[in-house]
Amino acid sequence: MSKQEENKKKEGGNSVMLKVATFIVDRRNLFFLLICIALIFCAIASRWVKVENDLAAYLPDSAETSRGISLMNDQFITYGSARLMVTNITYDEACAICDGIEERDDVTLVSFGDGSDHYNDFSALYDITFAYPEDDERCLDGLDEIKASLEGYDIYVSTSMGDQAAETIAQEMKVVSALVVVVVLSVLIFTSSTYAEVPVLLLTFGASAVLAAGTNFFLGTISFVSDSVTIVLQLALSVDYAIIFCNRYKEEHQTLGIREADIVALSKAIPEIFSSSLTTIGGLIAMMFMQYGIGKDMAICLIKAIFFSLLSVFLLMPGLIMVFGKAMDKTKHKSFIPKISFIGKFDHMTRFVIPPVFVLLVIGAFYLSNNCPYVYGYSKIVTPVRNESQIADEMIANAFGESNFVALIVPAGNYEKEAELMRALEARDEVDHCQGLANTEAIDGYMLTDGLSAREFSETFNVDYEVSELLYMAYAINDENYAKIINGFSGYKIPLIDIVMFLHKEVEEGYVTLDDDLMETLDEANAQMQMAKDQLQGEDYSRMLVYLNLPQEGDETFAFLDEMHEIAGKYYDGEENVLVTGESTSQYDLKKTFARDNLVVSIVSILAVLSVLLFTFLSAGMPVLLILVIQGAIWINFSFPTLQHTYLFFMGYLIVSSIQMGANIDYAIVISGRYTELRKIMSKKEACIETLNFAFPTIITSGSMMVLSGFAIGRLSSDATICGIGQCLGRGTLISIGLVMFVLPQILMVGEKIIEKTSFEVSVPIKLDRGFGTVRVDGMVRGQINGYVVGEMHALVKGDIAAVVTMGSLREVPPDDGTVKEIEGEVRS
């Protein structure tokens, strides 16, 4: 290494960073091996990651939906079911199909009739209930066989069984990921200065993506949202890190060899990149404070992804540069990114016009965004792409109307109260009908919970009265109701479902013998009653299904859910003993959590980013101005749904606002930091023009990736959550780019005095020194050096130097030709 290179290497940073960088570069083969092992493990482990597809699972434990789902899982069995619509058939054909489905052993019930609820406009709708719980694979196998038997018919199936939605999302995200790869490749080729740097960047991105996806295994279970969009968002969020390092290397490589430039660039890039990541991480941390658990789930996945992006840039990329270094030298090309001086001139010309217009725009956007039509379910959202399940649901709804029901859970043990409660609910206009044990017909007009005397039982089932009496006596003894044995059975009535199931148990245990015909009738009745009981009655609670004449969500629906608690509470000693669960309740709970999470996410993300900016700029005014611009971009972004009268899934706001604040603020930092430096030695106009020319390549590279990736997700995903995140992220980033290019410079020019007066930076000169002859100057220099010089420079200067060294040092070095003085650090004359 030459003397010049040694001096150059010294200025790469402090000795610790240089030692770390040297170790990483020289031990690159070790890191290649370790990363390859980790990549192999992560590629395999990514298949072990469990994915939760139910958004309601991330509601807080205190939410009614969470408590209701937990209780139902403990108390009831939900059998597999599906709604099957066959179009373009006659009623006779529909009946024949119904008979064929009913004959299947794995089907216990098929609801079909000649009413408009099941046959309308040459379309038939079958409500199929299978003989197995909904998580039993035999249900899906049976449904597939039914669909296969109807080949040739136009059929549409709606069911909650299986993971069809997850499989659809997975396929869509494969297409999105492939498109994003094309986008990234195109952007990198366009913005690069050497073709061989593209594979270096792609390998770095790819490694970090695989590491992030595979390590999700250690989290146990992640949401389908995190599983679907983390890789794409990781690329969009962390692309700057690799580009910063690559640009550093190319800058150092102008005067140093490949290895030395790699080491110096890495020593400088580590603190710079780490600082850049803090604002993004700060915005993501805000999501961890959300009451709705999916925010924490996604924040952890994204922060972990950023960590592996940093790891790949710091440990893998230096070795890749050593491998591709010569190829990078041979494949240099002219930059394709144009100068944008005209934007700088426009910004300077409009510096007194744009800021007040922007303030008015932000005020209007704040109002419009607060009136954004958020929704908490998928029923009102139309995505650009419709999957098979969505099309089926839409077709069934168009032909037979939408079905919305909730489960009402009350303490068990009193069939009369249940019957009275259902009659009270059915008297309401908001309720179409209720279904529970107390109003389910069993045989000869009797409901399942109707009480039958011994004589009524004998007449209904054609059993000798003496046998009925003996049966009732056995039931009384089993129930420890000895008073009935003493007083007689004339007035003793037992609910039909209880006596039938008791009789079946006695027959199975061999205490009672029945003839074949009666036994067949008993078996059928017991099977139907057992299924009804499994679904509607648990050990401690009973469940009733309430079918509503209301949409799944809306103020009217949510208000009636509160009324249902009041109505049921009258029968069960208070609303605390009653639970209502269903899609409507889930969406009501989500609305309640959103009210809190919205405020928390906004405050925490702003405070986190503000803290980072305060220490970055050592000024109170600058961070406020930058946050104002990005927060303004967020409000403008979420004004669009209001203006377009389109519904937005609430989670899109919570996630995108955090990401937009944490990631897009980097664009504002690049511009404001550069402008502040140049403004010390240039006019406002010149500083503005030079700043935008300097910042544009960085902003257009990462910004275009974020915009195109977001729009790709928004256009190609059929899931409302993922689609909304993509659309808002793409649009929000585009707005942020526009504001930092066409609004932020004017604000910086007009607000210079505010920034200066709120600065708490203290500059203490180290010493004043003069030099004449051949002088070496390294670092940030301001002053007269045979002409006015500013900027980071690495050069030998011949002439007089009168400078104040505010950071660094000025020292004598052995002269080659005259007096030589070496200056390192930030210098002002």
Is the pLDDT score of 810 beyond 60?
A: no
101-120 b/e with 16+ CB inside 10 Å = b? beebebbbbbebeeeeebbe
Are 378 and 534 a contacting pair, CB within 8 Å? Answer: no
Mean pLDDT of 752-759: 82
User: Any idea of the CA torsion for 210, 214, 219, 225, to the nearest 10 degrees?
Assistant: 60
For residue 506, the surrounding DSSP H or E stretch is helix 496-508
pLDDT value of residue 301:
92
Q: Residue 827 pLDDT more than 70?
A: no
Cβ–Cβ < 8 Å for 743, 358: yes
Global pTM?
0.78
Residue with tokens 């009350």: 410
Q: CA end-to-end span of the chain, whole Å?
A: 32
Asked if residue 128 lies in contact with residue 82, where contact means CB atoms within 8 angstroms, the answer is yes
Q: What percent of the chain has pLDDT over 90?
A: 35
Segments of 347-491 assigned E as strands:
374-375, 404-411, 431-435, 441-443, 446-447, 451-452
Q: Are 779 and 791 spatial neighbours (Cβ–Cβ below 8 Å)?
A: no
Question: What pLDDT is recorded for position 779?
Answer: 55
Helix (H) or strand (E) segment spanning residue 825: strand 820-828
Return all residues near 445 (Cβ < 8 A) that are at least 6 apart.
Answer: none
Question: In sequence order, what are the residues at sequence separation of 6 or more whose Cβ sits closer than 8 angstroms to the Cβ of residue 409?
Answer: 68, 71, 72, 541, 542, 543, 578, 579, 580, 581
* Predicted pLDDT at 805: 46
The pLDDT score that the predictor gives to residue 174 is 81
477-481: average pLDDT: 76
Q: How far apart are CA 370 and CA 367, in angstroms?
A: 5
C-alpha 446/C-alpha 448 separation (Å) is: 7
Q: Report the DSSP pairing between strands 579-582 and 820-828.
A: unpaired
- Per-residue burial over 173-196, b if 16 or more Cβ lie within 10 Å, else e, is beebbebbeebbeebbeebbbbeb
Is 28 in contact with 322 (CB distance < 8 Å)?
A: yes
Partners of 120 in beta bridges: 123
Which residues contact residue 463 at a Cβ distance below 8 angstroms, ignoring those fewer than 6 apart? 457, 471, 518
764 band by pLDDT with thresholds 50, 70 and 90:
very low
Residue 809: the pLDDT is: 47
Asked if residues 41 and 210 have their Cβ atoms less than 8 Å apart, the reply is no
Give pLDDT, residue 634: 92
DSSP assignment of 639-673 equals THHHHHT--EEHHHHHHHHHHHHHHHHHHHHHHHH
3-state secondary structure of 708: helix
CA dihedral 12, 14, 17, 23 (to 10 degrees): 80
DSSP 338: P
- Per-residue pLDDT of 209-244, as tens digits, reads 999 999 998 988 998 888 887 877 787 667 778 888
Higher model confidence: residue 236 or residue 66? Answer: 66
Average pLDDT of span 809-815: 49
Share of the chain above pLDDT 70, in %: 89
Stretch 45-61: mean pLDDT: 86
Residue 428: per-residue pLDDT: 93
Residues sharing a CB contact under 8 Å with residue 533, sequence separation 6 or more, in sequence order? 437, 497, 501
Tell me the pLDDT of the chain averaged across its residues.
Answer: 84
pLDDT of 422 strictly over 90: yes
pLDDT at position 247, please?
Answer: 83
Unique residue bearing structure tokens 């002409």: 787
- Count CA within 13 A, CB hemisphere, residue 130: 26
Residues 289 and 304: their CA atoms lie apart, in Å, by 17
CA-based nearest residue to 769, from 816, 728, 814, 823 = 823
Q: Quick count: other Cβ atoms within 10 Å of Cβ 75?
A: 17
Output the pLDDT for position 12: 44
pLDDT number for residue 785:
57
Query: In this predicted structure, which of 273-282, 386-395, 708-717 has the lowest mean pLDDT?
Result: 273-282
**Residues in a beta bridge with 767:** 805
The answer to whether 310 and 245 are in contact (CB under 8 A) is no
Q: How many CB atoms lie within 10 A of CB 386?
A: 13
CA distance 534 to 529: 8
Q: Say if residues 521 and 503 touch (Cβ distance below 8 Å).
A: no
CB 704 within 8 A of CB 695: no
Q: What is the pLDDT of residues 526-545, one digit of tens each?
A: 888 888 888 899 889 999 99
Helices (H), 401-515: 415-426, 454-461, 465-478, 482-487, 496-508
| pLDDT band at residue 734 using 50, 70 and 90 as cut-offs | very high
Provide the residue type at 109 as one letter.
L
Helix (H) or strand (E) holding 676: helix 650-679
Q: Cα separation of 691 and 746, whole Å?
A: 12
Residue type, 822: E
Residue 210's φ and ψ, nearest 5 degrees, are -65, -45
Other residues' Cβ atoms within 10 Å of the Cβ of residue 324: 19
In whole angstroms, give the CA distance from residue 603 to residue 586: 26
Q: What pLDDT is attached to residue 145?
A: 93
Give the three-class secondary structure for 790. strand
Return all residues near 732 (Cβ < 8 A) that are at least 6 apart: 633, 634, 637, 656, 660, 664, 710
Length of the chain: 829
Cβ atoms of 571 and 421 closer than 8 Å:
yes
d(CA 566, CA 57): 26
